[in-house]
């Protein structure tokens, strides 16, 4: 039986105002969450607070009694630094969320001296435009209501699914780092258009919309990408000639290897 979400509107405290922290802050604020943010760089924190109508917090420990979720968005190597002032002070009723690459749940529990619910998640930068792809894993202490809250948080900024924690390094390599791969694809397609005489601004718009529209077709139709590819590949036509060139130069193999390499790097961060 599905669990009914009866939780009140949540207050979320984000630790770290880097790219992902800022993206989460904007996405959650836009979605109606009460958001506070803390960062060691006061200027950056104040800028985000003003831009997205969220609260800037100078002392996170003072906020612990008033929040529903605490989200860590710092670099993995900075976890111990930001966790020390909070260790042993977080209520078990508070959901702790970590988006630190390569950092297992047990490391978060130990750093915070925390025995409550912890969710490890890997969203991506598309959270800024409410289009993130996020995978999540929870520890055994995480209650059903806390899992629902985690879903609310990440589905407010895109799509979110539960996965085994052992697969989160692979998620990092696929969807966490994936936007960078696709930015390179858009850039390359744009340059191809420019090479063939299309003005750069128009080439960029065409390339961007082509990637967006193609992704939407996969999502909305539910068809395998190969089926959709075949629908635009006519015998002896332009597309099959281009596909042959891409296969010959190893595009598919390069992207597979990119996911593999990023996955291994995420796993290596634990060491």
Please state, rounded to an integer, the average pLDDT across all residues of the chain.
92
Per-residue pLDDT averaged across 130-143, rounded? 96
Say if residue 20's pLDDT is above 60.
yes
Report the pLDDT value the prediction gives residue 231, as an integer from 0 to 100.
96
Query: What distance lies between CA 35 and its chain's CA centroid?
Result: 18
Put the strands of the sheet holding 158-162 in their side by side order.
55-56, 34-38, 11-15, 69-72, 95-98, 118-122, 132-138, 158-162
Q: Spell out the domains of the chain, with CATH numbers in brackets.
A: 11-168 (3.40.50.720), 178-268 (1.10.3730.10)
pLDDT category of residue 174 using cuts at 50, 70 and 90: very high
Cβ of 68: how many Cβ atoms within 10 Å?
21
Is there a contact between 73 and 239 (Cβ–Cβ < 8 Å)? no
Say if residue 4's pLDDT is above 70.
no
Per-residue pLDDT averaged across 57-85, rounded? 93
Report the pLDDT value the prediction gives residue 10, as an integer from 0 to 100.
80
What do you get for the CA distance between the two ends of the chain, in Å? 41
| Residue position matching structure tokens 């063939």 | 196
User: Strand runs (DSSP E) across 84-188, as ranges?
Assistant: 95-98, 118-122, 132-138, 158-162
pLDDT category of residue 46 using cuts at 50, 70 and 90: confident
Closest CA to 93 of 152, 15, 36, 10: 10
Per-residue pLDDT averaged across 74-98, rounded? 94
Which segment of 41-45, 137-141, 185-189, 224-228 scores lowest on mean pLDDT? 41-45
Say what percent of the chain tops pLDDT 90.
80
| Residue position matching structure tokens 């997205």 | 52
Is there a contact between 56 and 81 (Cβ–Cβ < 8 Å)? no
For residue range 150-164, what is the model confidence (pLDDT) as tens digits?
Answer: 999 999 899 999 999
The span from the CA of 50 to the CA of 255, in Å, is: 39
| Of 7 and 136, more confident | 136
Residues 6 or more apart in contact with residue 199 via CB below 8 angstroms: none
Residues 6 or more apart in contact with residue 161 via CB below 8 angstroms: 134, 135, 136
Query: What distance lies between CA 233 and its chain's CA centroid?
Result: 33
Query: What distance lies between CA 201 and its chain's CA centroid?
Result: 28
Angle at which helices 178-195 and 251-268 cross, to 10° = 150
* DSSP single-letter state for residue 235: T
Per-residue pLDDT averaged across 191-219, rounded? 98
Per-residue pLDDT averaged across 191-217, rounded? 98
């Amino acid at each position: 039986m599905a669990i009914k979400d009866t939780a009140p509107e949540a207050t979320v405290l984000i630790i770290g105002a880097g790219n992902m922290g800022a993206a989460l802050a904007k996405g959650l604020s836009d979605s109606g969450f009460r958001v506070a943010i803390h960062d060691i760089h006061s200027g950056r924190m104040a800028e985000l607070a003003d831009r997205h109508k969220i609260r800037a917090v100078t002392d996170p420990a003072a906020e612990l009694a008033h929040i529903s979720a605490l989200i860590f968005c710092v670099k993995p190597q900075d976890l111990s630094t930001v966790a020390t002032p909070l260790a042993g002070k977080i209520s078990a009723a508070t959901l702790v969320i970590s988006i630190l690459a390569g950092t297992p749940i047990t490391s978060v529990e130990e750093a915070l001296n925390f025995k409550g619910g912890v969710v490890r998640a890997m969203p991506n930068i598309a959270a800024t435009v409410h289009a993130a792809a996020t995978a999540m894993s929870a520890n055994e202490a995480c209650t059903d209501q806390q899992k629902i809250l985690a879903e609310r948080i990440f589905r407010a900024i895109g799509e979110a699914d539960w996965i085994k924690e052992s697969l989160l390094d692979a998620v990092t390599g696929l969807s966490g780092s994936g936007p960078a791969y696709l930015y390179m694809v858009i850039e390359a397609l744009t340059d191809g258009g420019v090479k063939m005489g299309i003005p750069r601004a128009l080439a960029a718009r065409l390339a961007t919309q082509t990637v967006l529209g193609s992704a939407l077709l996969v999502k909305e139709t539910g068809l395998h990408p190969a089926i959709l590819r075949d629908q635009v590949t006519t015998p002896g036509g332009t597309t099959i000639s281009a596909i042959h060139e891409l296969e010959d130069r190893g595009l598919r193999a390069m992207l597979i290897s990119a996911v593999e390499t990023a996955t291994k790097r995420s796993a290596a961060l634990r060491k």
